[in-house]
Amino acid sequence: MPARLVATVLGTPDPPALAVFYSELLGWEVTRSDPYWARVCHPDDDRPSLSFQLETDHVAPVWPQQPGSQQMQAHLDVQVDDLEQETARAVSLGATVEEHQPQPDGVRVIRDPHGHVLCLFLPGF
């Protein structure tokens, strides 16, 4: 049997707080939360989870990337039906909108409350 991806893990100085943000953003359930590890899971199926591990020295990446600075090693893509509405909702949950927007018609680059870059995007982008 091939290997199976079960989680994407983000480092953060506050796993429980970041789990709440993503739970609200995605409509997923917080299934574990302690000072060292937290996890959110889709409520209806066996999709890979999104987990958060304690990294006391977490440094957010620079966006757009610049030589010699903290580089982004991964980002999350989140499909939405209404880009403006979901961007506003993400901001109300603690996200920030990046100034640099390479595809403004269908993608919005934002940061979660702990600085991880993610993209909200419309179907087809």
Number of domains in the chain: 2
- Residue 61 belongs to a domain: no
Range of the domain at 111: 75-125
Do residues 13 and 51 share a domain? Answer: yes
Q: Is residue 65 part of a domain?
A: no
CB burial of residue 40 (10 Å; 0-12, 13-18, 19+): buried
In a domain, 63, yes or no: no
Q: Which of 22, 42, 29, 4 is nearest to 112 (CA)?
A: 22
The reply to whether 118 and 81 lie within a common domain is: yes
pLDDT averaged per 10 residues in sequence order, the chain, 125 residues: 94 98 98 98 90 95 82 90 98 98 96 97 95
pTM of structure: 0.92
Give dist(CA 125, CA 45) in Å, integer.
25
